[in-house]
Structure 1
Amino acid sequence: MDLQKKTFVKHDHVENLNETQPPQGSDLPIWKQKELRKLYLMFLFLFLGSTTLGYDASLLNGLQTMNSWQAFFDQPTGSRLGIFGAMPGFGGLFALLFAPYIADGLGRKRGTAIGCIIVVFGSLLQSFPRTGSESKRDAMYLCGRFIMGIGSNISNGTCPLLITEIAHPRHRGKVTTVYNTLWYVGSILAAWVCFGTLQHQIGNIQWVLPTAFQCLMPGVQLLAIWFVPESPRWLISKDRCEEAREILIKYHGNNDPNDEFVRWEFSEIANTLRLENESSGSGWLDMVRTKGNRKRCALIIATANFSQCSGNGLSYINGGLTIWCWLVSLGASFLVDRAGRRVLFLFAGVGMLISFIIWTACSAVYAKTESTASGTAVIAMIFLFYGVAGAAWPGLTVSYTIEILPYNIRAKGLTLCFFFTALSGVFNQWVNPLGLESLHWRFYFVYIAVLVLECLIIFYFFPETKGPTLEEIAVIFDGEQSAAGIAQAKAFEKVIAHRDTKQDA
């Protein structure tokens, strides 16, 4: 199937289907489409879900530099300090048990709101822990961090779904890819807020203020989410078709109820969801029931692991490197529809392999000679390595996962991605230090082998998803006679019938 030309499945009852193009929608730029422009401005508030996650991930590093925080918690070290850092991750893993049911049952908007409320509550518990014995202080602080981890993963399990499912097909790839790159903004913000309070000796307020600041982003998001429209796909799945149609008309059809593109889009979505419900379920076993779904799961697991375990856990990211990573990943997110997903994945994989080999060689030279030149080269290769990695992994990890999944298992598939991302993070935290301690720079050869394998898997198994709508992508995995393929043909039949009616009139 030619993805660029958007050719379509030929059925006996539709003649010359492959020779005719479906409606393409308005070719006006975004700034000339009032309602679409308003929609994408509202997306800025949805992006705060990723920013919140990045803020918390970097907050504890900043707090450890503060004498007031160290004094309040009696200089935590070892396993006690480790549990402080790991607790949001445990909360996030716990949330994965029910996050997809919230997204599918209550909706993308309500799921995001629930996540925001939980994050605010957890942040407040962290900010005002009980005084007294060490156990009492730790219990409330850890409870707050655990709860905040739950809320963050609920919000991040719904926000990108809502963005993907309501964005115009022309811009879906860009806006969804931008979402996860804003993790870096939260990390940068945490560093600067901690730096600002670090300059002032104001008692416990020094660390309480940046901790309580966590409430701001989910608080703003909670207020703004009610102005964002619900996912038309979720509404259709709940038999609220007219609401979905009105949303598509408003934001994708410039308020024109006769817009041919919206007629096509609504029909394709509605038919696909109906046929999916008739032919398959939405449980966890359905993720491995068909060959197409098994391939999807394999790609999701590979994407999650590659995003975390490609050598990027061997170096701590400082402020300058974080800003560099964000700028590169943000720039790359605007190339996903021009260059394509596969090209960016391969560029990142090959670029990481080459820079990592040089990084390893320079580290070997530095270990033997301690020369300034080799040390400088290592730093340069670290920046280059993270730069090329930023071309794919920060943004595409989430956006590629979402778009290769059909609606009935989309929320669960995103949960699978987060689960393996978390496991990969645990690997980085526990295995890498042991490997570096035992083998020093020789441990890097493990990741050279991993990167070679990564490039081969991307080249041979990762399909391109540039161009098609979410429903059309399913045909790549499930074949032309799948629910998506049949729905695609039915939608086109309606467009042809509507065109013929207009011509007869």
Structure 2
Amino acid sequence: MFIAFRFIAGAGSGLIQVCPVYSAELAPPHWRGFFVGMNGMLIATGYAFAAYMGLAFNSIKDNPEAQWRGPLGMAVLFPAFMLVILPFIPESPRWLLMKDNPDKAWVVVNDLHHAHTDAGHEFARREFYQIRKQIEMDRTLDNSWGHMFKKPSYRKRSLLAIGYAFLGESTAVLVITNYASILYKQLGYNSHQQICLQAGYHTVPILGNLVGALLIDRIGRRPLMLAGLGGCAVMLSIEAAIVATFTGEGKVHNTAGLNMGVAALYMFIFMYAIGVDVAGIVFFGEMFPNHIRGKGFSLTVATKALTDLVYLEAASTAFANIGWRFFLLFISITTVGFVVMWIYLPETKGLPLEEVAAIFGDQDEVMLYLKDIKVDHGSDKLEIHHFEDGNEIHRVATEAAPKPMTTLKDV
């Protein structure tokens, strides 16, 4: 029964992975990193809450069944809350346009992206026009699974997504999370202390994800993604050295060294959160064009799941037979991956989703650039300005811009 319902819960958890894509399609370009990055912070908050509830229910000594039934029962509350708020959440405007529903799409864009200082809703109108024109092209493009690997630029995106997703899990993040009790026991902590330390371990990513979300639109995705991989490799190396030096039979007890082992784990998850978690999830949600974004993001989810499955199945045997040397596998993979990503990882900061294709070599698939679209307030039309090397080449008046509306209530 437990395995069967775990399968259902896992399927639901997999479906929720669409949230970063949804957030990316709703957010304005200059704030997209923050809003998508907040997914990571809230997921980290959920992990921390679960850890603290595990600690709380573990303290119920007179009712052993409550120790595991209580946390599982509480897990029902949050999906129920999500079901309640779903009717009030707007649909992605890009999805609505793909489904021939421009009126509803404009309502969402206008309601979410107009500013109180912009009486004419100029940004929302320009952005909507760019999205609509891009969707017109995207609907004519091949969105098959095969085309994602046949076309060189799509293949590059797919391989980058798969590669970074694999590297993110190859930092040993879930191995440490699931086998933390073994590590803490090696460092000399009892079972109750292990649960307390694990609750603290899950608290650190809340801060890490928040810092990453606040920084990502300022310094970019690439620096954080690289810092995350490099930081994890360094901290895992420190952890392996401490376990090898201060734990095991015949080793001299060193309290400071053992405490540093815990600190290294905490710094590991902080670096993972600030780089791999926040920046990675933002990058995955924005690197693919509209017509294959869902497929592209699903590649990352599948890669993460398959990689974790292999590592977690092998971990118990590895720890039992080679102990801390198991970490050398992750250190090696992450280090090599850092070099590869340093060479190939592009920067997507501040670009509208419709323009990301250009940095992957698909300039011919970008219909319009947002900077080239202006609102002619005299005629209430949009104008397309073409620039080369900073000089305007020509200007073409286009169809009437969408009429500004104040809120959803005006529809």
TM-score tier (shorter) = 0.7 to 0.9
Q: Where does residue 266 of structure 1 map in the other structure? A: 128
Q: Is the CA contact 2:212–2:279 (under 8 Å) kept in the aligned structure 1?
A: no
Report what 1:342 is aligned to.
222
Q: Determine the structure 1 residue equivalent to 2:156.
A: 295
Partner of 2:239: 359
Distance 1:207 1:431 in 2: 25
**310-319 vs 215-224, which deviates more?**
310-319
User: Which amino acid is the alignment partner of residue 409 of structure 1?
Assistant: I
TM-superposed deviation, 1:170: 2.0
Q: Deviations over 1:361-405 (max 9, x none)?
A: 333322463431432332222222222222112223322111001
Aligned partner of residue 322 in structure 2, secondary structure: helix
CA distance in structure 2 between the aligned counterparts of 1:498 and 1:398, rounded to whole angstroms: 38
Per-residue CA shift, 1:26-59, capped at 9, x if unaligned? xxxxxxxxxxxxxxxxxxxxxxxxxxxxxxxxxx
Cα distance change of structure 1 residues 434 and 208 upon mapping to structure 2, 3 Å threshold:
closer
1:408 to 270, 282, 291: 291
CA distance in structure 2 between the aligned counterparts of 1:145 and 1:444, rounded to whole angstroms: 28
Structure 2 residue 45 is the aligned partner of structure 1 residue 175: no
Task: Name the Cα RMSD after superposition.
Answer: 2.7
Q: 1:149 aligns with which of 6, 10, 13?
A: 10
1:329 aligns with 2:209: yes
| Alignment of 1:241 onto 2:121 | no
Structure 1 segment 431-442 matched on structure 2, within 5 A: 431-442=314-325
- Structure 2 counterpart SS, 1:170: helix
Match of 1:223 among 84, 91, 94: 84
Residue 208 of structure 1 corresponds to which residue in structure 2?
69
2:21 — aligned with what?
A: 161
Out of 340, 348, 352, the residue aligned to residue 465 of structure 1 is 348
For the structure 1 residues 250 and 329, does the alpha-carbon distance in structure 2 shift closer, same or farther, using more than 3 Å as the test? closer
Query: Which residue in the other structure is 2:251 paired with?
Result: 369
Aligned to 1:487: 368
Q: Which residue of 2 aligns with 1:476?
A: 359
Assess, with a 3 A threshold, how the Cα gap between structure 1 residues 203 and 323 changes in structure 2: closer, same or farther: closer
Are the aligned partners of 2:34 and 2:216 in contact in 1 as well (CA < 8 Å)? yes
Aligned twin of 1:188: 48
Q: Is the 8 A contact 2:98 2:139 kept in 1?
A: no
In structure 1, runs of 5+ residues without a counterpart are 1-138
After superposition, residues 370-385 of structure 1 pair within 5 angstroms as 370-372=252-254, 373-385=256-268
Within 2, Cα distance between the matches of 1:281 and 1:156? 24
User: Which one-letter code corresponds to 1:434 in the other structure?
Assistant: T
Q: Match of 1:428?
A: 311
**Distance (whole Å) between structure 1 residues aligned to residue 278 and residue 137 of structure 2:** 31
Q: How far apart are the structure 2 equivalents of 1:490 and 1:348?
A: 32
Residue 150 of structure 1, CA deviation: 1.7
TM norm structure 2: 0.80
Q: Which residue of 2 aligns with 1:108?
A: none
Is contact 2:41–2:209 with CA below 8 Å preserved after alignment? yes
Please state how far the C-alpha of 1:314 moved relative to its aligned partner. Answer: 4.6
Q: Is the 8 A contact 2:21 2:286 kept in 1?
A: no
SS in 2 for 1:281: coil
Code of the residue aligned with 1:488 in structure 2: it is: Y
The CA deviation at 1:475 is 1.0
Contact 1:313 1:432 in 2 (8 A): no
TM-score (norm 1): 0.66
For the 8 Å contact 1:264–1:492, the answer to whether it is kept is yes
Q: What is the CA–CA distance in structure 1 between the aligned matches of 2:326 and 2:11, rounded to whole Å?
A: 34
Query: More deviation in 189-198 or 161-170?
Result: 189-198
- In structure 1, C-alpha distance between the alignment counterparts of 2:370 and 2:283, rounded to whole Å: 25
1:282 aligns with 2:143: yes
The answer on whether the counterparts of 2:239 and 2:264 sit within 8 Å (CA) in structure 1 is: yes
- 8 Å CA contact 2:145–2:295 kept in 1: the answer is yes
Q: Which runs of 5+ in 2 are unaligned?
A: 181-197, 375-381, 385-395, 402-411
Q: Deviations over 1:280-333 (max 9, x none)?
A: 222211221311110111111112112211133453451111111221122211
Inter-partner Cα distance in structure 2 for 1:180 and 1:362: 30
Q: Provide, for residues 46-78 of structure 1, a one-character-per-residue CA deviation record: whole Å limited to 9, x for no partner.
A: xxxxxxxxxxxxxxxxxxxxxxxxxxxxxxxxx
- In structure 2, what is the equivalent of residue 40 of structure 1? none
- Residue 173 of structure 2 aligns to a residue whose secondary structure is coil
Amino acid aligned to 1:341: R
SS in 2 for 1:495: strand
